[in-house]
Structure 1
Amino acid sequence: MNILMQRVIQALSLTNDFYETIEEHCLRFAIPDVPSNTIGEQAYCIIGARESYLKALKAGQWNGFECSLTDSHNKILLINKLKETHTNIEKYLQEVSIDNVNNNLLIDLLEHEVQHHGQLIRYAYANKIGFPKSWNARYTV
């Protein structure tokens, strides 16, 4: 597995850590006084992107956005979907040769996941939510 694949897996793990650490009621938090969805709705976008990019990686091209998460404010369901999508992507990356992967799609997946990290940092600060240790180590938050 090359460095790009490793960084994708690292980003997925960090996202999972964030959502595993926060309390369920925090999924309904938004950023006050600015246009904002909720922390749970951020997860809907993350999970949908993971599912959609995996589908695109397998096809070699983008095939549109789909998300199987049915309730973005149910922590158990959300965590299960985060773990499932993480496992599915990691398994795919372990089985495929980097020469057979559309690197633009893989970079897009990484950028999307990390973009949400930045957004989640803003949500956490705005709502006084703590960070998991992995985020303190990675982002010095």
Structure 2
Amino acid sequence: MDMLKQRVLQALSLTNDFYNHINDGCLRLKISDVPSNTIGEQAYCIVGARESYLKALKIGQWAGFDCSLVDSNNKTLINRKLEQTHTNIERLLQEISIDENISIFLFDLLEHEVQHHGQLIRYAYANKITFPKSWSIRYTV
């Protein structure tokens, strides 16, 4: 189960790297000619999922989706929320032991985070955005 914790933290770090790497203008970009929200709105979903899964991990059950990110076009705020949620999840993972219920939430969080990586790769290719080095190593982009 230490591997599960490690993979969750790796995924969180990769997301943080992506949003640290892009410039402010990228947050408003979409994928043209297909239904698409913005890269900033992707961050809203990521932050909200992190906060919601953190709450679920603490109380032992899903309590619904909630997100404290109030501006999906503010890079400073997005990066702060991503760092804060990463730190909060990392701290909790140091304090808890993983049982079946906890592992389900951790797998769900990991799947959600990595699913957004796939989406962000498509956004980056569609908008000719370069990738941070960590993504080039992890995903060969």
Task: Quote the residue 1:113 is aligned against.
Answer: 113
Task: Quote the residue 1:27 is aligned against.
Answer: 27
Structure 1: runs of 5 or more not aligned: none
**Displacement of 1:99:** 3.2
Q: Does 1:94 align with 2:94?
A: yes
Amino acid of the residue matched to residue 30 of structure 2?
Answer: A
Task: Quote the residue 2:50 is aligned against.
Answer: 50
Task: Quote the residue 2:82 is aligned against.
Answer: 82
Amino acid of the residue matched to residue 131 of structure 2?
Answer: F
Amino acid of the residue matched to residue 118 of structure 1?
Answer: G
Amino acid of the residue matched to residue 47 of structure 2?
Answer: I
Task: Quote the residue 1:70 is aligned against.
Answer: 70
CA distance in 2, matches of 1:74, 1:117: 20
- Provide the alpha-carbon RMSD of the alignment: 1.1
CA distance in 1, matches of 2:131, 2:36: 20
3-state DSSP of counterpart to 2:32: coil
CA distance in 2, matches of 1:100, 1:13: 24
**Identity rate, percent:** 74
Q: Does 1:134 align with 2:116?
A: no
Amino acid of the residue matched to residue 82 of structure 2?
Answer: L
CA distance in 2, matches of 1:135, 1:67: 26
**Displacement of 1:100:** 7.6
Task: Quote the residue 2:123 is aligned against.
Answer: 123
Superposed CA deviations along residues 103-123 of structure 1, whole A, max 9, x for unmatched, are 111100000000000000000
**Displacement of 1:95:** 1.0
Aligned length: 141
